[in-house]
Structure 1
Amino acid sequence: MRVFWLRILTFICLNVNIVMVFVTVAKACDHNGVACSFLKEDDACDTIGLESRVVINELMVDPTPEVGLPAQEWIELVNISDSRVNLDSWELMVGGTSRLLPAYWLGPGEYVILCSVTGIDMLSGLGPTLGFQLPALRNSGNRITLVTPDGKIRDEVSYSDEWYGDNHKKEGGWSLERIDPQRSCGEHANWTSSRDSSGGTPGSRNSVFSPNPDEVEPQLLGVGVISPNVARVTFSEPVMADSTCFYLSGGLGAPDRLEFVSASVIHLIWDKGLQLNVTFQLTIQGISDLCGNMMSQVLQPIEWIKLEPGDVVVNEVLFNPFPGGCDFVEVLNHSSKRVDMALLSLAGRDSQGELRQKIGIGSTGIALEPGELFVLCESKEGVTSFYVTECESCFREVSSIPSFNNSEGWVVLLDANDQVIDELHYIEDMHHPLISNVKGVSLERVNPDIPASDKGNLQSASAAVGFATPGYKNSQWMTETSRRVSLEIQNAAISPNNDGYNDALIIRYVMPSPGWMANGWIFDLSGTEMVRIAENLILSTEGVLQWDGSDPIGHLLPPGPYILMLEMYDLEGHIEKFREAVVLTGQ
């Protein structure tokens, strides 16, 4: 209940027929249902002005599994202004759902937890709560907007599960916390997962609270031409721009119009199209982020290209991963063209041969340079936890990739017009017959110059590299064949004392074709087997075998002369044998 006392002082000036009315307000207010004392006559009224900032400060969008907080979704607000604010009839928009907040006075520096009515009892012990019909919060990819009764947006957050910065925490039970409540721009760099052991800090200062001004200029992530008239420009964060920020050489000039695909992705549209296979220079300048940081001028070559079959190929596929791992597809730009990944899609085929589960590979406008690889998967960690990679930046995570059957399947690369650029048809029997368990073993393309369907052009990845090569050269890669095995022994005299000099016997090999295997032994001069360094080991087409001077249980053998025996063979009956004297020294 609000009570207003008005004292009206009226002075009448008869000469000029003017009535002057002075109003002094003394107020008693209803503060969340509790009457407060009258204010002095010179006290100001609480207002909802620009200076009265209430911001979204913490989000619990995925409360299960529980870490230490109740399994309830909630949104925490904080008043960072110097005035009390009445939230009565403020609008909370979550995605496409809108709700009006009940009356609630939020004092300067105070927090309130917005939750469902049923969540009040469970959350009220953690801080002040405001229960109402809270819209459901998606685990990722949602926008929350706070709007005053007069239609002014007070705060807006478009959150993502990438903000957690921790794959474990994004599985649930942890809140997302705002680092600096005063910062109203560059939100992607101002939120992270809670560090509190309970999983969040509802009703109190965030565990990650810290001044966090944005002083970093936006970066250009990529430019790709997706049609003769449209170039897609992608920035590292939301930006402010108009047509005058872009200029294209060749007489095309500034784009005729812009289309904001998102806050950080812009389509530049020219009425006059770009010529095919002609390189143009795009100048980008005058771009700033939402915090006002100006981006340095960028000169970016762009080109409208037409993809031909074989320009981009499926280079490796894992369709039967280890438990806890995930399928992946490795793609190679086998052309001399800069290929915008937004032009590519990946699909499978059903039993009738029809395309299914088509997904876009890249919507960011990032170019795939000639000779570059990328690995498409649902979880980078689901690949790198099991295999070595030489290119951490080559991974592209997507929400889902086509499902690949363990026994047989198709991997299809499509261009922007759904024309097949490359296709790989695999069956489990393509794996090396001596591999007893093919789980976790990828199929690699031997030669990208010939169709993947050609006999022998798909081979099991070598055991020597861990049965997969995501993001780097295939272990079975070969474009030319030789007639014999090539072998080179390095460091025939070794001193394994970890001084970095001749610590191991190095055996470099080049095989005449994929699918060769090796057995290797070390004997003493009496012919006694001391250690087996390879046993039916599936080799790469070229690679290295090593021996560090130790026996089967890791103890160094006594110094002295030894004999290296190697036997290399394939399934067609070819056998190559080698014998070499080696010396193990004590120093």
Structure 2
Amino acid sequence: MRPHFLLLIIPFLYVSLHAQLIDDFSDGDFLNNPTWQGDTSNFIINVNNQLQLNAPSVTDTSFLVVETGILDFTNTITWEFYVKLDLSPSNSNNFRYYLTSNNANLRGNLNGYFIRVGENGSTDKIKLYRQDGTSTNLLMTGLNGAYGISPEFRVRVNRDINGNWEVLSDSTGGTSFVYEGGATDNTHQFSTFSGVWCKRTTSNTDNFYFDDIEINGNVITDNDPPQVSNSFVKGTNTIEIQFDEPVTTSAEQISNYNLNFNNGNPLLVTVVNSGYELLFNNPFISNDTLIMDISNVLDLSGNVLDTTIEIIVPDTASAGDLLFNELLFDPYAGGSDFVEFFNASNSNIDLYHYFVADYDASDGEISNYKQITGHYVISPSDVVCFTEDTSSTISDFYTHDLSKIFQMDLPSFPNDSATIYLLTPDSIVVDKFSYSEDMHYELINDPEGISLEKIISNESSNDFSNWTSAAESVGWGTPGVDNSQRFNQLISANQFEVQTAVFSPDNDGFEDVAVFSYQLTDSDMVGNASIYDKTGRLIKRVLTNKLLGTEGQFIWDGTNSNNQKAGIGIYLVHFEAFGENGNIITHKKSITL
């Protein structure tokens, strides 16, 4: 029988069409309308117009699949099929009907669901499985008994929009269905193929029969070309390309890729679990921007991708290149910790296989290593944020950039204090941060749900005065975007200047601290800085015999030596620096609190 495709456009769901596929093989053909593919030489249409295995007399497997279109799992789907086995099913002779598969090769890595009959013993049962790659997981076992000796039966499987599976059968091959069992599973929600799979011994190469295959549901029409969802450098001369939907074998053609810097076409394209690995002849140079033309890559609907992408060749990080920049260690109930890093270097750095860890005081060792498993290239002066629950983080903090927030397992961040680390894949410390809840703005009584932010991002992570609470005006945290308390450094040619002559430490995210910049002619100078009120009383020492670089910044948060907020008024900062050669630099500037 010719298959029937009944198409009805559903109002407002412009990409979802109702479809029904029926094939009872009454036309004597399985190669056309619809086209079954796979081990086509191992099957025939017999005189009863049934699909029958007719394979060589060797112990092996054979399969056929039909393309269903992209099934719409947001609607109910029903499968029905007839099976007859002229054998006693066993572990050596059994069949699978693949309800769904994302791969036309039923022997390969695939994600999908299948019905199986065949086990040792005489009480074979209908079973529903999920397949993840090459591993299988039993979801449901049906009723005892009826399928152990030369079974002839019909199966109906229903799946609703919530992932509830229902398996029914008629052990006589008719349509008086009885309930076998059910399961709930939403793991795989992409499928374009359905088909039969037979495992046989040499004496059972023609004892499998199938008929009346029917699929009812919605299919998604795809008129958009595939897109590159991710691309990154994996080695000295290897790039991985990932697409946002399954593509045909066109993605394996070396002529469909062309790279600049005289690389041309790749030497080899290899299919990997997550995409396609391209091997080139020439090694890449760190921080170069590679430009790749991709053409003639087709998705399963025949849409063609022609595009040009840029890929940055990353460098490796040294100590101080990546710095802690923001930390939430006391989230709201049900919320998630997060940690943000700032690239203080001039290089592009891929965080793949770096570690976030903490300090175990009991043995004095860095412990609880959590590895970053994705490729995240962070550009100079940019940030990247990691959280254990992306949806929770973006829900709790409305000031965010989702493109720079990624999910991973993190060490435990205690609510009082701890020391945490960022390490290279070789476990070399890039940065460490010893935090405490006392680092929050002193007028905040309960810091729950409030992140700590760095004020000057490329300064030391262990400068207590360089951290403060995120501003209330931005929602108490800024994952993936510039810190609300961040100071943009502007060092002039003057040796010392006040960047914020008037400031108000009210934690509103605007000029909450006084920032001072210095530029020195000599290196290795030692500096002191003190704050005085208008009567000349010492309010606070903000620098004490600190070894200075030739340029830098320091801040005053508006508190006195007792860590209490100073009063409103005019203050004087006295800055002095001493060099080994006896050179002394001294400056006085006024500021208004």
TM-score (norm 1): 0.54
- CA distance in structure 2 between the partners assigned to 1:319 and 1:378 by the alignment: 12
The residue that corresponds to 1:404 in the other structure is 413
Q: Please state how far the C-alpha of 1:282 moved relative to its aligned partner.
A: 2.8
Letter in 2 for 1:311: D
State the SS of the aligned residue for 1:148. strand
Matched, 1:486 2:537: no
State the SS of the aligned residue for 2:356. strand
The residue that corresponds to 1:510 in the other structure is 511
The residue that corresponds to 2:82 in the other structure is 85
- CA distance in structure 2 between the partners assigned to 1:486 and 1:478 by the alignment: 14
The residue that corresponds to 1:350 in the other structure is 360
The residue that corresponds to 1:319 in the other structure is 329
Q: Is the 8 A contact 2:314 2:348 kept in 1?
A: no
Q: Is the 8 A contact 1:389 1:470 kept in 2?
A: yes
Equivalent in 242, 255, 264 of residue 253 of structure 1:
264
Q: Is the 8 A contact 1:223 1:366 kept in 2?
A: no
The residue that corresponds to 2:243 in the other structure is 235
Superposed counterparts of 1:410-559, under 5 Å: 410-478=419-487, 480=489, 482=498, 485-486=501-502, 510-513=511-514
Q: Please state how far the C-alpha of 1:378 moved relative to its aligned partner.
A: 2.4
Cα deviation per residue 1:16-71 (whole Å; 9 max; x = unaligned)?
xxxxxxxxxxxxxxxxxxxxxxxxxx9943326968789997989xxxxxxxxxxx
The range that moved more, 241-250 or 313-322, is 241-250
Q: Please state how far the C-alpha of 1:148 moved relative to its aligned partner.
A: 2.3
Letter in 1 for 2:95: W
Q: Is the 8 A contact 2:157 2:166 kept in 1?
A: no
Percent identity of paired positions between Structure 1 and Structure 2: 22
- CA distance in structure 2 between the partners assigned to 1:349 and 1:428 by the alignment: 17
Q: Is the 8 A contact 2:287 2:312 kept in 1?
A: no
Relative to structure 1, is the Cα distance of residues 391 and 360 closer, same or farther in structure 2, using a 3 angstrom cutoff? same
Letter in 2 for 1:256: L
State the SS of the aligned residue for 1:244. helix
- CA distance in structure 2 between the partners assigned to 1:421 and 1:486 by the alignment: 36
The residue that corresponds to 1:300 in the other structure is 310
Cα deviation per residue 1:366-414 (whole Å; 9 max; x = unaligned)?
543443333322223322333221424332233x322211122233323
Count, aligned residues: 383
- CA distance in structure 2 between the partners assigned to 1:510 and 1:51 by the alignment: 66
The residue that corresponds to 2:567 in the other structure is 575
The residue that corresponds to 1:150 in the other structure is 198
- CA distance in structure 2 between the partners assigned to 1:56 and 1:251 by the alignment: 39
Relative to structure 1, is the Cα distance of residues 87 and 434 closer, same or farther in structure 2, using a 3 angstrom cutoff? farther
Q: Is the 8 A contact 1:380 1:397 kept in 2?
A: yes
Cα deviation per residue 1:518-555 (whole Å; 9 max; x = unaligned)?
xxxxxxxxxxxxxxxxxxxxxxxxxxxxxxxxxxxxxx
Equivalent in 97, 113, 116 of residue 136 of structure 2:
97
- CA distance in structure 1 between the partners assigned to 2:331 and 2:429 by the alignment: 26
Superposed counterparts of 1:202-241, under 5 Å: 210-239=218-247, 240=249, 241=251
- CA distance in structure 1 between the partners assigned to 2:153 and 2:68 by the alignment: 11
Q: Please state how far the C-alpha of 1:139 moved relative to its aligned partner.
A: 6.4
Q: Please state how far the C-alpha of 1:292 moved relative to its aligned partner.
A: 2.8
Letter in 2 for 1:486: V
The residue that corresponds to 1:131 in the other structure is 180
Q: Please state how far the C-alpha of 1:443 moved relative to its aligned partner.
A: 1.1
Letter in 2 for 1:46: Q
- CA distance in structure 1 between the partners assigned to 2:190 and 2:218 by the alignment: 24
- CA distance in structure 2 between the partners assigned to 1:43 and 1:247 by the alignment: 53
Unaligned runs of 5+ in 1: 1-41, 61-74, 122-126, 153-180, 183-204, 489-506, 515-567, 579-587
Matched, 1:267 2:281: no
Relative to structure 1, is the Cα distance of residues 403 and 214 closer, same or farther in structure 2, using a 3 angstrom cutoff? same
Considering Cα pairs closer than 8 Å and 6+ residues apart, tell me whether 1 or 2 has the greater RCO. 2
Relative to structure 1, is the Cα distance of residues 236 and 47 closer, same or farther in structure 2, using a 3 angstrom cutoff? same
- CA distance in structure 1 between the partners assigned to 2:398 and 2:420 by the alignment: 23
Q: Please state how far the C-alpha of 1:104 moved relative to its aligned partner.
A: 6.5
Q: Is the 8 A contact 1:283 1:299 kept in 2?
A: yes
Q: Is the 8 A contact 1:460 1:467 kept in 2?
A: yes
- CA distance in structure 1 between the partners assigned to 2:221 and 2:166 by the alignment: 38
Q: Is the 8 A contact 1:219 1:295 kept in 2?
A: yes
- CA distance in structure 2 between the partners assigned to 1:104 and 1:342 by the alignment: 54
In proportion to residue count, which structure has more strand?
A: 2
Cα deviation per residue 1:309-350 (whole Å; 9 max; x = unaligned)?
333322101011111211111223334433334364433333
RMSD: 4.6
Q: Is the 8 A contact 1:412 1:420 kept in 2?
A: yes
Q: Is the 8 A contact 1:349 1:355 kept in 2?
A: yes
State the SS of the aligned residue for 2:352. helix
- CA distance in structure 2 between the partners assigned to 1:130 and 1:439 by the alignment: 52
Relative to structure 1, is the Cα distance of residues 53 and 360 closer, same or farther in structure 2, using a 3 angstrom cutoff? same
The residue that corresponds to 1:46 in the other structure is 50
Letter in 2 for 1:576: I
- CA distance in structure 1 between the partners assigned to 2:73 and 2:95 by the alignment: 18
Relative to structure 1, is the Cα distance of residues 433 and 221 closer, same or farther in structure 2, using a 3 angstrom cutoff? same
